[in-house]
Structure 1
Amino acid sequence: MYFESIEALLNMSGHGVYVWSSVAVTLAAMLWLVSAPLLNHRALLKEVNRDIQRQQDRELALKATVPTDNHKESH
């Protein structure tokens, strides 16, 4: 093993603060690069579903307000 103890691994001869903070920043950036597009994709799908539902509601409302020829009485 390269280090005698966990403390030596974390300290890394005085460079541990820089090494571990770099590791933490890199992992945070990688997590963000993976999760941000997934979250944006979900939000976009929800928005598209809302738009589709609104369009369907408009079409139903339009059909309900347009008079049809079937209800005319012939004399």
Structure 2
Amino acid sequence: MNTPLSIHLNSINLGSNGVVPVAIFGSATFDVHQIDSATIKLANASAKLKGNSQPIASYLDVNGDGHIDIIVQVST
């Protein structure tokens, strides 16, 4: 799936053993529920998993445009 990408970040320490939240914005033509959050990678870092092996992700309107977005916690 080709999706427009806009990255706004400072430096990320990929060896910090923490997480960084990654938001993917939904729109009238893009439903974020179609994303398999287990496949999201940031510089080879995968989504952080909960105890049930599911990615830590939440669905909400992050940018106030009326469309649901997804925030995935990516391991660093």
Q: TM-score range by the shorter chain?
A: under 0.3
**Greater gyration radius:** 1
* TM-score, structure 1 as length reference: 0.20
Bigger helix share: 1
* Larger relative contact order, structure 1 or 2 (CA cutoff 8 Å, min sep 6): 2
